[in-house]
Structures are given as C-alpha cells and as structure tokens.
Amino acid sequence: MNIEALPFAYEFDIARTALVLIDMQRDFIEPGGFGETLGNDVALLEAIVPATQRMLEGWRQAGGLVVHTREAHKPDLSDCPPAKRNRGNPSLRIGDVGPMGRILVIGEPGNQIIDALAPVEGEIVVDKPGKGAFYATGLHEMLKRRGITHLLFGGVTTEVCVQTSMREANDRGYECLLLEDCTESYFPAFKAAAVEMIRAQGGIVGWTAPSTTLLAALGHP
C-alpha cells in the first residue's frame, strides 16, 4: 500500500505494520490529571481523541496490529529515578496521590488509557518507565516476533514521548510515519517543530501524513 506523505510517499504492508498509540492516558488527557497539575491545558490533547479514535477503528477493521503504551512505574518507584521524579519541582510528583490515584503508577485509575481508545483483546499494551516505548519494555522483541517492519505513530506528547519513541524505532530499523492529527502537545509550537524535525532532511526520522490520507487508502474515507 502506498499513501501520500511528507517528504515523499510512504509504502507499507498492513501485515507488517503496527499502529502505535503513545500514552493516551487519563493522567495526561483528562481534567484533574497529572498534566493539568503541571499547569497544562489538557483540552489541547483532548482535541485529538476523535481523529485518533477513527484511526484506531479503521486500523482494527483492516486487521492491523495495535500497540498501546502507558508511561507507568512500579508501586515502589524502583524504576523511577529521582532525576525524573523531581524534574521541574512539581506540586505533585510521580507516585504521589492525585485526583486519579497515585500518579503514573501501574494499576492506578489515572494511569489507564482513556475509554475512547481502550485496548481490546489481542492488542499489545506496554508499560514503559521512560519516555521512549523501547526503553526497558521488550517491545522490539515483540514486534520482531510478529514480523513488523513499519510503524504508524500517534499519541502524546509529540515532542517528548512520541518523538523519542520514533527515534528509538528508527535506530532499530523500523520505517515510521507520524499521523499528524493523532498527536498533540501542550505547546502547539513544540508539536509543529517536532513534526518538521521528523520529516526533515529527506525523512531523517520518518514520514508524516494526516490520518485521513491513510484511512482513505484503507477504504474508510
């Protein structure tokens, strides 16, 4: 399959491609979560949910593999270094009790993926202790066992966990495409810059395209 993208057309085989949705969690997207306690406007992230939901449904109907990630730490925080927990001197830190339970801790309500994008049976769910989806997760091995060579990315935030995961994937040999309307940042200028970085210099990290282009190719205009 071939779709229009930047900096040039993106070619992929559905059977060898996975849709990777990064950290679409309540703590980042819903009011009252960790993202809002840091002073961010979560409405910016909420705005991509409809497009991401359409993309997810279309990809499922096409029979494609789906990967969901959650930024998540063990309850004892043994996988959360102080350099991460204390960064930015927040009013609430990772592991503290917030409105949705302990922040970014495995099993807590706020750590769950939002209902609109909840995983279904057969989809991969990865709890990652870092920004990148490949750090300390075993994701690379899971994908290689399934013969995956191409990755479609969406999720939050564009310039942090999404871009980090795309760069990790690129270094491991995956051909990556960012779905521009299925990703967002608390800082729109940061998203714009990240999108440009990803596709610069002939696609140094990967390709970018709107999800509508991909859905149309899948027969879901």
Predicted local distance difference test score (pLDDT) of residue 124? 98
Predicted local distance difference test score (pLDDT) of residue 4? 98
Predicted local distance difference test score (pLDDT) of residue 37? 82
Predicted local distance difference test score (pLDDT) of residue 1? 94
Binned at pLDDT 50, 70 and 90, residue 220 comes out as confident
Predicted local distance difference test score (pLDDT) of residue 86? 86
- Let me know the angle formed at the C-alpha of 135 by 134 and 138, rounded to the nearest 5 degrees: 60
Of 38, 33, 41, nearest to 91 by C-alpha is 38
| Mean pLDDT of the region 57-68 | 98
Q: Report the alpha-carbon distance of residue 67 to residue 143 in Å, rounded.
A: 9
State pLDDT tens for residues 141-164: 999 999 999 999 999 999 999 999
- Residues paired with residue 101 on neighbouring β-strands, in sequence order: 98
Predicted local distance difference test score (pLDDT) of residue 92? 83
Q: Is residue 106 pLDDT above 80, yes or no?
A: yes
- Residues 10 and 215 sit within 8 Å (Cβ to Cβ): no
- Non-local (6+) Cβ contacts of 138 within 8 A are 126
DSSP class per residue in 145-196: HTT--EEEEEEE-IIIIIHHHHHHHHHTT-EEEEEEEEEE-SSHHHHHHHHH
Binned at pLDDT 50, 70 and 90, residue 38 comes out as confident
Predicted local distance difference test score (pLDDT) of residue 15? 98
- Residues 135 and 168 sit within 8 Å (Cβ to Cβ): yes
Q: Is 161 a catalytic residue?
A: yes
- Residues 51 and 211 sit within 8 Å (Cβ to Cβ): yes
State pLDDT tens for residues 79-96: 999 999 987 767 788 999
Q: Is 96 a catalytic residue?
A: no
| Mean pLDDT of the region 44-72 | 98
Q: Is 115 a catalytic residue?
A: no
Given the residues 27, 80, 161, 191, select the one marked as catalytic.
161
Binned at pLDDT 50, 70 and 90, residue 14 comes out as very high
Predicted local distance difference test score (pLDDT) of residue 45? 98
Tokens of 2: 């071939």
| Mean pLDDT of the region 68-75 | 98
**Tokens 């940042």, located at residue:** 185
Orientation of helix 188-203 relative to helix 163-171, angle to 10°: 20
Query: Rounded to whole angstroms, what are the CA distances from 78 to 67, 90, 94, 96, 146?
Result: 25, 20, 12, 14, 31
Given the residues 128, 131, 181, 191, select the one marked as catalytic.
128
Sign of the torsion angle spanned by Cα atoms 94, 98, 102, 104: negative
Q: Is residue 33 pLDDT above 90, yes or no?
A: no
Q: Report the alpha-carbon distance of residue 32 to residue 108 in Å, rounded.
A: 14
- Residues 184 and 44 sit within 8 Å (Cβ to Cβ): yes
In the predicted model, what is the mean pLDDT of the chain?
A: 96
Q: What percent of the chain has pLDDT over 90?
A: 90
State pLDDT tens for residues 167-199: 999 999 999 999 999 999 999 999 999 999 999
- Helix, strand, coil shares, percent, the chain, to 5: 35, 25, 40
Predicted local distance difference test score (pLDDT) of residue 42? 97
Q: What percent of the chain has pLDDT over 70?
A: 98
pTM score, two decimals? 0.97
